[in-house]
């Protein structure tokens, strides 16, 4: 029990009395007259992408409204399908009106001219949770104007999901480990059981992340560290495309070219494919829909890359919030973003572990949680993610998430290039060369 200090016998001096009176006079009115007494209640409008885990969105809306109640602010949350995020954001900046906070699942570098500098949001958070982590810095900093165009609070790793029982049948019970074995094992599975490999090659978030990861893992980098074109300036681009072509021909399915959003997830849930890369929302969905299927899905860190790239995969999600420069409630928006970091732990839980906190201090026992997950069977299944931060670089690596890189990403240039090869429309060399021209045009545009 905490003992309160005794004030017995203490006399109040004239000086103390005057100080108390002055303080009371200065802050008293704020207690007596709520903000709404001075002006009408402000509204904070938030647009956010629809999370893969619906429970997270339910919680987020509730948490945002609670924050609003505490700050005398009406909070409106609009959930947008992933596919409409970019169009909606573009429309808002074109008319200079819309939401106050716009939350993207990727770094919205393209909109840097319409965003406030979020450096002060990072500073507000720093006093509690430390300096900006690398992944956030490189995902939201514009080295050109040296401002932060967004604020990142969580990210989602993208491990390999594979059906252990399928892969055990062809002598790889622990998964394919490297890209060569993904191809050879995938071929055996398709030949033997008619179960194709299920990587997404579509112009969707899943396809974009998967294919950018493969390119990166084969050292076929889009831009160099300075943001200049690197793609197809060496043989890595065409070699990566040839690998994808061989993987598709040996072990794929035409469905990989036509899936809609989360098509790779649905195929896995139906046990129609042998493996894919995705956020763990896939496994969470399996745990909810069919626990028997979930027990057969194992996770593995990303595949070992080629040409010295090691084990690596880009993040499935980098949750980045933008306060538009035309927002009427910039201060409230800034405060909201900073305050939401306090809820990172709950966000992690409500997202069923999908949302890895940008600030590790907010979920200090992350590794323990991963090793003892209440939904997982076995409970330590998710511990494969414990070093995810080490194998997850930012979108735009080896440089920053620049406007040019993010336009390449958001226009699905890479999936389109890959599809042109897989559909037989272009050779890998031709597709790489054509894409390089398009990338150069984008780079030039942003210069």
Partner 1 sequence: MKSIRKHAAIFVAVLALVGVLFVVVPNLPAQNSNGVGSASFNRGSANFNPPPCDYNDTFYQDNGLDPTQLVGRFGTDRQTGPPATGNQVNWVADTNCGINDPNRRNFRILATTGGFPDDGSGSPTEFISILAFVANQTAFETTYSRTVGAINGGLDGDQQNAGSTISIANSQNPRSIAMQDIVSNFEGYAALKQRLPNGTFAMNPCAPDMVSPLAPATPCFPVNTVNAVFTPNLRQDWRFATNRNAMDGSDNNCVGTDPAVCPDGISDTPFGYFCDDLLGMWILTYFWYTVDPANPGPVCGPILAALDQKNGVSLDGTPIILTADELNNQLEANGCGAEGQEAVDGSDGGAVWLVCPAIPDPRNGAIARDAFLDQVVLPNGAPQNPALTQNFLSLQQSGNFPNNASVSKPQSQKPRSQTALGRGSGGVMK
| Residue 29 Cβ vs partner 1, minimum distance, rounded to whole Å | 45
The encoded tokens of residue 28 equal 């008293």
Cis amide bond preceding 23, omega within 30: no
The span of 19-27, 269-277, 295-303, 406-414 binding partner 1 (CB under 8 A) equals 295-303
Q: Binding to partner 1 by residue 393, rule CB under 8 A?
A: yes
Dihedral sign (CA 396, 402, 404, 410): positive
Per the listing, tokens 């040296």 go with 146
Nearest-approach distance from CB 188 to partner 1, in angstroms: 8
3-state secondary structure of 156: strand
Which residues in 54-73 contact partner 1 (CB under 8 A)? none
Residue 285, classed as helix, strand or coil, is helix
Q: Does 311 interact with partner 1 (rule: CB under 8 A)? A: yes
Among the listed residues 43, 50, 307, 440, the single contact to partner 1 using CB under 8 A: 307
On whether the CB atoms of residues 198 and 264 are closer than 8 A, the answer is yes
CB of 167 to partner 1, least distance (A): 9
Establish if 28 lies at the interface with partner 1 (CB under 8 A).
no
Widest distance between CA atoms in the chain: 92
By CB under 8 A, name the one of 43, 50, 88, 181 that touches partner 1. Answer: 181
Per-position DSSP letters for 98-157, written without gaps between them: S-SEEEESS--GGGGGGB--THHHHHHHHHHH-SPPHHHHHHHEETTTTEE--EEEEEE-
Q: Single out the segment in contact with partner 1 by CB under 8 A; choices: 96-104, 206-214, 323-331, 375-383.
A: 375-383
Among 124, 147, 242, 271, binds partner 1 (CB under 8 A): 242
CB of 32 to partner 1, least distance (A): 47
Contacts of 190 (CB under 8 A, 6+ apart): 196, 197, 250, 251, 252, 253, 274
Number of residues that bind partner 1 (CB under 8 A): 53
Nearer to partner 1, 377 or 425 (CB): 377
Cross-strand bridge partners of residue 276: 161
- Candidates 41, 94, 123, 234; binder of partner 1 (CB under 8 A) is 234
What's the sign of the alpha-carbon dihedral 335, 336, 337, 338? positive
Q: In this structure, what DSSP letter does residue 22 have?
A: H
185 is a site residue for partner 1 (CB under 8 A): yes
Using a 10 angstrom Cβ sphere, with 0-12 exposed, 13-18 middle and 19 or more buried, the burial of residue 278 is buried
For partner 1, the binding residue among 29, 34, 81, 225 (CB under 8 A) is 225
Half-sphere exposure of 323 (CA within 13 A, CB side): 21
Q: At what angle do helices 403-410 and 413-422 cross, to 10 degrees?
A: 40
Point out which span in 35-43, 58-66, 277-285, 293-301 binds partner 1 (CB under 8 A).
Answer: 293-301
* CA–CA dist 229, 435 (Å, integer): 11
Residue 403 has, within 13 A of its CA and on its CB side, a CA count of: 19
Residues 121 to 150 in contact with partner 1, rule: CB under 8 A:
131, 133-135, 137-138
Q: Out of 224, 387, 425, 444, which residue is the one contacting partner 1 (CB under 8 A)?
A: 387
Q: Which of 236, 248, 336, 348 binds partner 1 (CB under 8 A)?
A: 236
Residues in the chain: 447
Q: List all residues 6 or more positions away from 228 whose beta carbon is below 8 Å from its beta carbon.
A: 443
- Residue 109 · residue 142 · CB < 8 Å: yes
* Of the residues 208, 256, 319, 394, which one makes contact with partner 1 according to CB under 8 A: 394
Does residue 300 bind partner 1 (CB under 8 A)?
yes
**Of 28-36, 192-200, 203-211, 373-381, which segment contacts partner 1 by CB under 8 A?**
373-381
Instruction: Give the span between the Cα atoms of 118 and 334, in whole angstroms.
Output: 8
Q: State which residue, 387 or 444, has the beta carbon closest to partner 1.
A: 387
Q: What is the β-pairing status of strands 73-80 and 42-49?
A: parallel
296 binds partner 1 (CB under 8 A): no
Q: Give yes or no for residue 298 binding partner 1 (CB under 8 A).
A: yes
Give the residue, chosen from 72, 74, 119, 177, that forms a contact with partner 1 under the rule CB under 8 A: 177
**Residue among 148 and 298 whose Cβ is closer to partner 1:** 298
Q: Which residues bind partner 1 (CB under 8 A)?
A: 131, 133-135, 137-138, 170-174, 176-178, 180-181, 183-185, 219, 225, 234-236, 239, 242, 298, 300-301, 304, 306-308, 310-312, 360, 370-371, 378, 380-381, 383-384, 386-387, 389-391, 393-394, 397-398
């Amino acid at each position: 029990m905490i003992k309160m200090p005794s004030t017995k016998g203490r006399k109040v001096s004239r000086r103390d009395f005057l100080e108390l009176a002055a303080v009371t006079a200065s802050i008293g009115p704020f207690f007596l007259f709520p903000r709404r007494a001075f002006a009408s209640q402000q509204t904070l409008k938030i647009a956010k992408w629809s999370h893969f885990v619906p429970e997270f969105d339910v919680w987020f809306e509730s948490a945002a409204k609670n924050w609003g109640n505490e700050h005398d602010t009406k909070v409106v949350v609009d959930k947008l399908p992933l596919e409409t995020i970019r169009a909606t954001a573009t429309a808002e900046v074109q008319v200079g009106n819309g939401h106050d906070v716009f939350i993207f699942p990727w770094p919205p570098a393209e909109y840097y001219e319409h965003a406030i500098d979020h450096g002060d949001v990072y500073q507000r958070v720093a006093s509690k949770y430390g300096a900006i982590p690398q992944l956030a810095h490189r995902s939201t900093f514009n080295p050109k104007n040296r401002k932060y165009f967004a604020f990142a609070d969580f990210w989602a790793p993208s491990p390999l999901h594979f059906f252990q029982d399928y892969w055990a049948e062809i002598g790889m019970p622990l998964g394919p480990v490297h890209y060569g074995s993904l191809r050879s094992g995938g071929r055996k599975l398709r030949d033997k059981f008619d179960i194709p490999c299920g990587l997404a090659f579509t112009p969707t978030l899943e396809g974009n992340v998967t294919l950018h990861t493969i390119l990166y893992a084969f050292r076929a980098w889009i831009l160099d560290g300075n943001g200049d074109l690197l793609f197809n300036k060496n043989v890595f681009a065409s070699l990566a495309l040839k690998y994808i072509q061989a993987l598709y021909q040996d072990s794929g399915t035409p469905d990989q070219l036509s899936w809609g959003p989360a098509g790779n997830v649905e195929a896995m849930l139906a046990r129609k494919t042998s493996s894919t890369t995705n956020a763990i929302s896939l496994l969470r969905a399996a745990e909810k829909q069919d626990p028997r299927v979930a027990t057969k899905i194992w996770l593995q860190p990303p595949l070992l890359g080629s040409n010295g790239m090691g084990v690596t995969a880009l993040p499935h999600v980098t949750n980045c919030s933008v306060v538009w420069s035309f927002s009427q409630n910039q201060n409230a928006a800034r405060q909201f973003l900073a305050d939401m970091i306090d809820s990172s732990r709950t966000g992690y839980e409500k997202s069923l572990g999908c949302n890895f906190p940008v600030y590790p201090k907010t979920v200090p026992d992350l590794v323990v949680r991963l090793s003892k997950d209440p939904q997982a069977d076995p409970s330590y299944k998710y511990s494969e993610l414990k070093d995810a931060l080490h194998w997850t670089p930012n979108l735009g690596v080896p440089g920053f998430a620049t406007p040019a890189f993010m336009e390449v990403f958001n226009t699905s240039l890479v999936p389109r290039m890959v599809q042109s090869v897989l559909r037989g429309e272009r050779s890998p060399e031709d597709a790489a060369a054509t894409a390089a021209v398009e990338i150069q045009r984008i780079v030039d545009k942003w210069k």
